[in-house]
Each structure stands twice: as structure tokens, then as C-alpha cells.
Amino acid sequence: MALAAEGLLVVDADSHLTEMHDLWVKRAPAAYKDRVPHVEVVDGEPTWVIDGLAAGRAGGGGVIDLQGEKHPFQESMIEWDIERVHRAAWDPQERLKLMDESGIEVQVLYPNSLGIGGQNLQPVEDNALRQAIVEIYNDARFELQEQSGGRLLPMPIMPAWSVDACVREAERVATMGSRGVNMTSDPQDLGAPDLASRDWDPFWEACAHLQLPVHFHIGSSLTAMNFFGNYFWPSQHEYVKPALGGSMLFINNARIVANTIVSGMFDRHPDLKIVSVESGIGWIPFILEAVDYELFENAPDQMRELQRKPSEYFADHWYATFWFEKAWGDLQDLVDKVGEDNILFETDFPHPTCLFPKPLELVGDTLATLRESSRRKILSENAVKLYRI
């Protein structure tokens, strides 16, 4: 099926760009140059170091090699240096070339080295340093957005240790042209209230007012990644462990959907939009039905405090991303249950499970089973509207 022939401006709502090793150092004030993220060799391995603390291996952040071959997680994401990964994993110009070859007009970008939700800043105790690190990252990524002519749309990291700091940063990045914000699912890991607390109402209101959809990528917190390490039984093969962990991380975003809905935040912020990133869509109908049932059974008084049934909030407030699912042969039925207006397309390049090398060809036969309206909305129109493209 020739999707490009349909004249669609295809938007990839989830991809990653590996950070260059000098991203922070070359932009930091003199007082912070030795403290911001930079790469040192620790025990023979290139390692991100923040304020003297090791913060993870400085790898290539991808599973595609220089020859365009795809490799398992265990030997690529774990072992490769940046020199071994496909240049489009870290080079913006090569990324744009790959997008052209793939038939993708716009990509939404997420980070690697700070944690997908910025959670790797947790060990840093100096909030001024934390703030500087976040602002440098966001400023650098918006330079990239401008240089790409708006084809690359990075989601800025929020300083999730402080509600007030998040409000200020949301307002700041909005003036720079941000099309959304990237939030950790568990700010309590960083010392702030959890997201069900009404303390976060000023942030939700700011995002709603500024038309900044809030994005929750899978694995966007220390809590989520601790779950990742416990999904598989210890005796499983080392290559099987990330396969099981990744599968369960998709479904882990159900806890964010359910928690936001029952918190009452959408009654207080009727214009707020939220995106579940890299989570798939197959679990959504069940979790909405389950929350309706469980809340009625176990918290009837709290359910009556909501203005609607829990499941009814999804259509007006939530989006989710789709890439490899076939829904057991009836994708249209699944799309109708989730809502064709609530689904975005993604490739996840260059991470594990990414659609590569020809993403639209890989999903062409599957998407051909959909109504034209569903296909157009998922590949293009929903994202064009959400991101004001």
C-alpha cells in the first residue's frame, strides 16, 4: 500500500535523538562547566557524569548500526558507543535525510541521557544546577527545532522536583515555540508531590492555557524503570529480559491513564490534553472498562464526585501512540473502541521495537484495513491538530 500516494503529511509522534557529549559543556556558564552532564571514562566505559556522580553509560542510544542493520537490545543499547550507531540516531541532518527517505515529514523527539522523563537528575541535590541542566537541554533542542524548520519537535523536560519551577519552565518554553512538554510520571521520586495532588493544579492549568499537551513516555520515572527490572524472572535469558521488560512497560502507562482520570483533574482542567507515548493502544479499552467497574465497586462515593464515568474522560483528554499492533486481525474495531481521534503514529527510531528501515511499508498492509478517515487521522491529522503543525 502506497501511503505516501495519499498525500499525507506523516507525523512520527515518538522518536529519540541521542545527546552529543558536549551538549551541556559548551553552553554552561563557567561556574557549572565541570558540574553539568559530560562524558568521562569510568572503569573503561564512556560514562555520563553529573556533579561528580556517574549517571549511566554514554552509549549510542540506538539499535541500528552504521550499515543500517538492526541488532538486539542487549548488544546494541548496552554495548555500543556513539561511533557504532546509525548517524541518524544523533546527527540532525542525517535524521532529516532518513525522514525524507521514510516518507515522514515531522518527528517528535525525546531525550536519552537524562532519562526519558528527566528522572536521572534525582541524585543531584543542587536545584539551581538541576534547573540549569534542564534549561540548557531545552534551549539546545529548540535551536534544533528552528534549524529544522519545525520538522523536528523536541519535547522539553520539566523540572519535576518543583511545581512552581514546572509552571515557569512551561511558560518559558511556550514563548520559544514548544508544542508540548515532557513530564515524568512520578515526580515524588524527585521530591515533589505525586501527580494526583492538587498542588499540581497550577501546572495543569498553565499547560491547558498554553496549549501544551503533557507527554508521558514509557519508562519516564525511576519508579517505572524499577518495575522494568522486576517484570522478568531472574533466570530468564539475558536477551529475553529486555523483551519482557519492554512489553510490560507499554502496559505500565495504564497506571498513568487510570490515575489521572480518577484524580478529578480533568473536571478542574477541561482543556488539558495528555499523550501516552510508546505505549500502544490495545490495552486501553480494557483498562477504561476496568476502572469504571473497580471504582464503582470499591469507591462509589469518590466515583460520584466525578462529573462523568471514568471511561468517558479518555476521548476528550488522552492520546496514545500506535506502531506495530495488528489487533488480532481487526484493527478497525480496536481503533473505534479507543477513538480514531485519539491515536497518533510513531516509529520509535532508533530504539528497540522501532519501525526500520521503511516504517510506512512495514505498517502499510495493516493500515490498509482501516477506513480512510481512521488512517488519515492516525498518520497525520490528529498530530497536525495537536501540535499545531
> Does a structural domain hold residue 302?
yes
> Does a structural domain hold residue 58?
no
> Does a structural domain hold residue 200?
yes
How confident is the model at residue 373, as a pLDDT? Answer: 97
> Does a structural domain hold residue 114?
yes
Question: Could you tell me the residue range of the domain that residue 181 belongs to?
Answer: 3-33+87-386
| Domain count across the chain | 1
Question: How far is residue 134's CA from residue 122's CA, in Å, rounded to a whole number?
Answer: 12
Question: How far is residue 312's CA from residue 210's CA, in Å, rounded to a whole number?
Answer: 24
- pLDDT level of residue 226 (50, 70, 90 thresholds): confident
> Does a structural domain hold residue 70?
no
What DSSP line would sit under 168-211, residue for residue?
A: HHHHHHHHTT-S-EE--S-GGGGTSPPTTSGGGHHHHHHHHHTT
Q: Using one digit for the tens of pLDDT, what is the confidence trace for 295-346? A: 999 999 999 999 999 999 999 999 999 999 999 889 999 999 999 999 999 9
User: Within 13 Å of residue 44, how many CA atoms lie on the same side as its CB?
Assistant: 1
pTM score, whole prediction? 0.96
378 or 231: which carries more pLDDT confidence? Answer: 378
Q: What is the mean pLDDT of residues 68-93?
A: 96
Q: What is the mean pLDDT of residues 355-368?
A: 96
126: which residues sit within 8 A by CB, 6+ positions away? 35, 51
Q: Do residues 178 and 246 touch, judged by C-beta distance below 8 A?
A: no
Q: Which residue has the cell 515529514?
A: 105
Question: How far is residue 129's CA from residue 135's CA, in Å, rounded to a whole number?
Answer: 10
Question: How far is residue 168's CA from residue 175's CA, in Å, rounded to a whole number?
Answer: 11
> Does a structural domain hold residue 273?
yes
> What is the CATH classification number for the domain harbouring 196?
3.20.20.140
- Give the 3-state secondary structure of residue 13: strand
Q: Is pLDDT at 2 greater than 50 in this prediction? A: no
User: Which three cell numbers, joined as nine digits, stand for 351?
Assistant: 530504539
Q: Using one digit for the tens of pLDDT, what is the confidence trace for 155-204? A: 999 999 999 999 999 999 999 999 999 999 999 999 999 999 999 999 99
* pLDDT mean across residues, the chain: 95
> Does a structural domain hold residue 343?
yes
How confident is the model at residue 3, as a pLDDT? Answer: 53
Q: Is pLDDT at 1 greater than 80 in this prediction? A: no
Question: How far is residue 169's CA from residue 146's CA, in Å, rounded to a whole number?
Answer: 19
> Does a structural domain hold residue 59?
no
Q: What is the mean pLDDT of residues 247-276?
A: 96
